[in-house]
Amino acid sequence: MKLSFRSSALCTATVAGLLVLTACGKKEEQQNNAPAAASTAPAAPAAAPAATTPAAAGTAAAAATPAAPAPATQPATAPAAPAAAADTLKVGSVTLGSAVGSDKKVSKEKTTFSPSEKTIYASVATEGTTAGATLNAKWTYQDGETTTTVSDISQSISTDGPAVTTFKIQNPNEWPEGKYKVTISLNGQAVGNEAFEIKKK
């Protein structure tokens, strides 16, 4: 009986020791797994942003805001050029003859010429002004139903008042007898004509 009791007591003591050790291991494990205690010390305040000086703020604002576009410069208006004087040139008269003076005017007007007269003139008197115009003289010969152009010549003129322009036709031989006409045009428009005749006296 004594031996049995001792053995039971020993076993009991052994089991109790194991339980104590197990309990101790769990306690240590719980202590190790426990979350770390939160620090009660207040967190250090975050560093305050550096104060922006007025100059820097002004620069930042200028960079952020696009500059207003400069007002468009209106092109300087050139003074209007004075209007050119309108042409007022008009043909006044057409005079025929066989000679002209230094003033370009026919010295003796006539409408009948002999076949032997080598040169026949037409003085064209104009009135008004022009910066540049073209006078034309077309000389023709009428032979029955046929009209033949003897000469067709133009002259440019520029004048600010009355002027005389002279045209002529020449023939080293005798002129055929018959009816002739000179037609005067101003800038392509017929403005007058003068008929004449060549015949033997």
Structural domain boundaries in the chain: 90-198
pLDDT score of 45 more than 90: no
pLDDT score of 59 more than 60: no
Report yes or no on whether pTM surpasses 0.75.
no
Q: Are 136 and 151 in contact (CB under 8 A)?
A: no
Q: Phi first, then psi: what are they for 17, rounded to 5°?
A: -65, -40
What is the third-level CATH fold of 90-198?
Immunoglobulin-like (2.60.40)
- CA 180 and chain centroid, separation: 55
Per-residue pLDDT of 176-188, as tens digits, reads 999 999 999 999 9
The more confidently predicted of residues 12 and 144 is: 144
Going from the C-alpha of 173 to that of each of 110, 116, 148, the distances in angstroms are 21, 7, 17
Per-residue pLDDT of 151-175, as tens digits, reads 999 999 999 999 999 999 999 999 9
Q: Report residue 55 as tokens.
A: 């100059």
